[in-house]
Amino acid sequence: MSDRLKPGDLAPDFTLPDADGKQVSLADHRGRKVIVYFYPAALTPGCTKQACDFTDNLDVLAGAGYDVIGVSPDKPEKLARFREQEHLKVTLVGDPEKEVLRAYGAFGEKKLYGKVVTGVIRSTVVVDEEGKVERALYNVRATGHVAKIIKDLGI
């Protein structure tokens, strides 16, 4: 399993393709806070709920100085379908090689229905304006997670 990030760690930089195949880099967001969330798969019930919650709260988060990037192992074509089908406004990027997922500690062993499996660990990392980890949350729930983040960040 990958090492999990802790507050104060330098967030691993990344450049990944978004739903349109355009390259998105964490470095492009320097000077703003970024919520990077990791989810298992586009077009699945839990991931759809989480992405819709982020979309519904995007104005509130942006108003407080936060950008939001969702990372999954999906290819851009699937991300585009996900965005269109669910009318998502969050930036979605794909990491089919799972390099960024591993770098953030969001890929590895987890329990699923009582069994130990290897896969994406639903996680959220809040990165500050200088690129350092402010918060790192692992094994989060899809439902209610965005409301909890907003409350915890005092927004």
Catalytic residue status for 47: yes
Query: Which of 5, 35, 42, 47 does the annotation list as catalytic?
Result: 47
Report helix, strand or coil for 37: strand
Selection from 135, 106, 109, 100 nearest residue 123 by Cα: 106
User: How far apart, in whole angstroms, are the C-alpha atoms of residue 143 and residue 25?
Assistant: 27
List the Cα angle 88/155/60 in 5-degree steps: 30
Residue 78: which H helix or E strand, with range?
Answer: helix 76-86
Active site residues: 47
